[in-house]
Chains A and B, each alone.
Chain A
């Protein structure tokens, strides 16, 4: 689901003109959407994970997260579950998740 039009609309409503794209940061960060989407991540990604298998992603820098999603989408990086996750997220949703995860606390 891509919501580019919605993204621009929101940015305009807030009086903030961004250049768009998942890395555009600032006042347009939709942390509520990010929090909702992140509930999908926490079914598998343990914020207290230290071991093997599935990494912790809470606190991940947004540039790292966005790049990972792009790589899973393109196939440059491969895991069946993450390919499906990345394919199901539009640019606006990736941006919201990236913003939320970057600022989220490891404790829950």
Chain B
């Protein structure tokens, strides 16, 4: 690629990086072979990096994803509320493979050897890489709530990894009798999708209002405030009066401590609540494979350099999405996609001498609280040496009209179509 003089000046850092890569013997020995990128995880972060890098044509891209379909955690609450079908939130990897040149491998990655620069699959196959992107999302801290293990999650679903758990939670919600108590345990920060539990509460309330109006929702929170709190609580008062009770951490001395799935009790430091159904969202960490690869620090999340999304702990490995501690960016699909574009640009500059651009980050989260009633929150971010820093944020206004709330709901739907299309179509 011929670069103009101005580009050389504009893009000096990228050229330096490119030169370093060329001299570092990280390219395959065979001159004609392309450098190899392996991406672990086919959610919005991993799939976006894979597609963006593959579309440039200069890098051989392999995406390792266990599942043949991906059900989005974002908008899965709308399925719970009856606003969307399960099929409408489920996508596949066919277009990534056939239209966008990504080598999609449906297998479970079980380990990374950063010295040999290989990824080991469950089958025993190893995939060599020049650069690795890890987008493993979250895992749960099963030891954090006594009695809440993977078996308990079959009775009191978390539904915080979408798919089978999402269907299970819908069945649990639908089985609650009129007048029954539904308990939601919300985790402390940081966790995936900060408005997620509260949009979910709204959607469950929407279902109850139509089908079992005497039922109640008790929210036992492990924190004292939450995303879009004033907006959510005002909406609950207006659309579901008397139905939702929220208990901050101070009231219960830290939220849910234990569950008993035999007696269907949800237990705090001082009280036991008998539930007709429950949704327990446990505390979270980075996906286990990232922790095992020494990419996480003591927080359980993975620190990265803000300008490239490169790991601060392991060379030639990048991370995007919910597994990272990015600073001010929330763990959201929108954030993951935004980080993925910066990461893809950095990798293309590094591996293929493509032009490097200044990192840009953005997030917006739309939440539906009732029919034609949407809320949104968002921000611009910039990379600093320490973190990804919020520079300009917004939140739906408390006094805005129903017409604006309706257009926000419509905007959310349009975003979902564009966003999943950009990644999976």
Contacts and interface: CB of A to CB of B under 8 A. Distances in A.
A81 B376 CA distance: 9
B392 A49 contact: no
Contacts, number: 92
Contacts of B79: none
Contacts of B76: none
Given A53-B410, A81-B364, A84-B392, A13 B337 contact: no
Contact of B417 (A10, A40, A46): A46
Contact of A87 (B357, B380, B414): B380
Question: Chain B interface residue count: which class?
Answer: 35 or more
Interface in A39-54: 39-40, 42-46, 48-49, 51-54
B123 interface: no
B411 interface: yes
Contacts of B419: 43-44
Interface in B377-400: 378-380, 391-396
A72 B421 CA distance: 26
A6 interface: yes
A88 B392 contact: yes
A45 B4 CA distance: 31
B350 to A, nearest CB: 15
Interface residues of A, number: 30
A45 B418 CA distance: 6
A32 B355 contact: yes
Nearest to B407: A53
Nearest to B55: A108
Contacts of B52: 39
A93 B337 CA distance: 21
A9 B7 CA distance: 10
21 contacts: A1-B358, A13-B4, A14-B4, A43-B337, A43-B418, A43-B419, A44-B419, A49-B414, A52-B410, A53-B411, A54-B414, A80-B376, A80-B394, A80-B395, A81-B376, A83-B394, A84-B378, A85-B380, A87-B380, A88-B380, A88-B392
The 4 A-B residue pairs whose C-beta atoms are closest, nearest first, are A53-B414, A46-B418, A10-B6, A54-B414
Interface of B: 4-7, 9-10, 52, 334, 337-338, 341, 345, 355, 357-358, 360, 362, 364, 376, 378-380, 391-396, 407, 410-415, 417-419, 421-422
